[in-house]
Amino acid sequence: MTAPPPARINLLDLDRRDLEAFFVSLGEKPFRATQVMKWIYHERVIDFAAMTNLSKALRERLAERAEIRPPAVALDQASRDGSHKWLIRLDSGNCIETVFIPEPDRGTLCVSSQIGCPLDCSFCATAQQGFNRNLTVAEIIGQVWQASRSLGDARNGNRVITNIVLMGMGEPLLNFANVVKATDLMQDDLGFGISKRRVTLSTAGVVPALYRLRDVSEISLAVSLHAPSDELRNELVPLNRKYPLAELLAACRHYIADRPHRRVTWEYVLLEGVNDSEAHARALAALIEDIPSKVNLIPFNPFPGTRYRRSGPAAIARFQAVLLAHGLTAVTRKTRGDDIAAACGQLAGQVQARGRRLERAARAAR
């Protein structure tokens, strides 16, 4: 019986070093990786036959051994405010969501790292969908590829996507290896060429992985905080029971230590009558006073079945005023894309859940 041919390698799963090794394994020079990366990420070409600076023989070998397969777009939605959301179809009925938010001085792409999320934060629509699996490198970087192609990202230096945030579906640090490789591709000049200060990873506080991240990356850090005390954060962000605030803040201090001009962005969703009082604001200011910080105050974006309500404008203004009075940088994030369920905390996708037990997530983080 003839053995089936080996599965083709998706080159979107390979960073520059991996791609160089792949070409060496084919008996080619490492510089072939440079040529192919430019075709993929600069020209948005995924057909080997169109890569005209490669020999015909090499193009034929690549077609036999490899593929360039970004995840498919199932739905493309535009918001009345200019935001954009793509529903990305993966496998077995699973979909993730990717969102682009334009501003006068930047264009930010919000990327997912998992199908669903195992952390079960009570105010987040993604968490209510359960958890299926981690995304591959190709599925993470493929979101950027599809968005840049859809938006017509310019190739003359006038970029449409200027910032990338891993704030979509999932906890990035529970998919550590694939996220690090994908963020390397985001920053690579042969990839999307985004500055390390313009690539931001948002975590709920997977402390051991945060220490590991410091060793391999200099991307910007955002932390989903949402409460100034362990008692309240245990309720809103159950991962806090595993890694309480003292441990999380120590890891954050370590991450930005000896990195000039770096700071931690704290994400704080304001929930009416839950975490939005002036006393909460004073406690938050005291908690982070010794850490270079920016606080993003996020009005809660409701989703079907939630028990929470958005804090009113007056309460948000009072909360912000307290932080400003304590010398902190605090901004209120404008709600964008809520008419297409693309706002912060609303991403749900379609998840064939395999469970979302916190212990499974905690074990994966060790």
The answer to whether position 1 is within a domain reads no
Asked if the model's pLDDT at residue 111 lies above 90, the reply is yes
| CATH assignment of the domain containing 41 | 1.10.150.530
Q: What is the DSSP letter of 7?
A: P
Q: Are 260 and 214 members of one domain?
A: yes
| 265-304 per-position pLDDT tens digit | 999 999 999 999 999 999 999 999 999 999 999 999 888 8
- 55 and 23 in a single domain? The answer is yes
26 shares its domain with 89: no
Highest-confidence range of 86-100, 212-226, 296-310, 344-358, by mean pLDDT?
212-226
Per-residue confidence (pLDDT) for residue 162, from 0 to 100: 94
Domain of residue 357, residue span:
72-365
Residue 66 in this model has a pLDDT that exceeds 70: yes
Residues 205 and 347 in one domain: yes
Same domain as 191, residue 112: yes
> What's the pLDDT score for residue 152?
80
Total domain count, the chain: 2
How far is it, in rounded angstroms, from Cα 275 to Cα 291? 21
Cβ neighbors of 260 (< 8 A, separation 6 or more) are none
Average pLDDT over residues 66-84: 90
- Pick 352 or 36 by higher pLDDT: 36
Q: Does residue 34 fall inside a structural domain?
A: yes
Q: What are phi and psi of 191, to 5 degrees?
A: -100, -120
Tokens of 176: 């550590």
183-224 pLDDT per residue, tens: 999 999 999 999 999 999 999 999 999 999 999 999 999 999
**4 found inside a domain:** no
pLDDT at 356 over 50: no
Task: Please say if the pLDDT value at position 365 is more than 50.
Answer: no
| 344 in catalytic set | yes
Distance spanning both ends of the chain, measured CA to CA: 44
Question: Do residue 63 and residue 78 come from a single domain?
Answer: no
Cα-based angle 309, 334, 87 (whole degrees, multiple of 5): 85
**Choosing from 20, 95, 97, 171, which is the catalytic residue?**
97
No. of H helices and E strands in the chain?
Answer: 12, 14
Q: Which tens digits make up the pLDDT trace of 120-140?
A: 898 887 777 788 899 999 999
106-110, strands of its sheet edge to edge:
72-78, 84-89, 95-103, 106-110, 163-166, 199-203, 220-224, 264-270, 293-299, 329-332
Tell me the three state secondary structure of residue 250. helix
Place of tokens 């920016």: 294
- 117 counts as catalytic: no
List the one residue out of 188, 195, 196 whose CA is nearest residue 141.
188
- Whether 167 is in a domain gets the answer yes
Q: What is the pLDDT of residue 51?
A: 98
* Res 231 pLDDT > 50: yes
Helix (H) or strand (E) holding 108: strand 106-110
Which listed residue (110, 124, 252, 344) is catalytic? 344
Single out the residue in 26, 51, 67 at which a domain terminates: 67
pLDDT score of 361: 46
| Tokens read off for 169 | 């579906």
Q: Is the pLDDT of residue 143 over 50?
A: yes
Residues 13 and 93 in one domain: no
Establish if 79 belongs to a structural domain: yes
Domain boundary residue among 31, 49, 67?
67
Average of per-residue pLDDT values in the chain: 89
Query: Looking at residues 140-148, what average pLDDT do you find?
Result: 96
Confidence (pLDDT) at 357? 42
Cα(260)–Cα(107) distance, rounded to whole angstroms? Answer: 25
CB 264 within 8 A of CB 248: no
> What's the pLDDT band for 354 if we cut at 50, 70, 90?
low
* pLDDT at residue 345 greater than cutoff 80: no
pLDDT band at 339 (very low <50, low <70, confident <90, very high): low
| pLDDT band per the 50, 70, 90 thresholds, residue 5 | low
Nearest to 185 by CA among 40, 85, 30, 63: 40
Classify residue 3: in a domain, yes or no: no
**Domain edge (last residue) among 45, 67, 89:** 67
Q: Which two tokens stand for residue 212?
A: 């590991």
In terms of domains, do 80 and 34 share one? no
Residue 157 CA to residue 135 CA, distance in Å, equals 29
When pLDDT is averaged across residues 345-364 and rounded to a whole number, the result is: 48
Q: Which residues contact 136 (CB under 8 A, 6 or more apart)?
A: 10, 13, 178
pLDDT of residue 83: 86
* Contact partners, residue 321, CB within 8 Å, separation at least 6: none
Residues 58 and 122 in one domain: no
Residues 168 and 221 both lie in one domain: yes
User: What's residue 33's pLDDT?
Assistant: 98
Please indicate, yes or no, if residue 138 is contained in any of the structural domains: yes
Same domain, 79 and 34: no
Give the β-pairing of 131-134 and 95-103.
Answer: unpaired
- Residue type present at position 117: C
- What pLDDT, on a 0 to 100 scale, did the predictor assign at position 159? 67
Share of the chain above pLDDT 70, in %: 88
Residue 162 lies in a domain: yes
CATH number at residue 237: 3.20.20.70
| Cβ neighbours, 10 Å, residue 292 | 15
CA dihedral 299→123→304→179, nearest 10 degrees, is 100
CA neighbor of 303 nearest in space, from 77, 119, 98, 126: 126
352 is written with which tokens?
């064939």
Q: Are residues 275 and 177 in the same domain?
A: yes
CA–CA gap between residue 167 and residue 109 (Å, rounded)? 9
What is the per-residue pLDDT for 342? 45
pLDDT higher than threshold 50 for residue 101: yes
Residue 360 has pLDDT above 60, yes or no: no
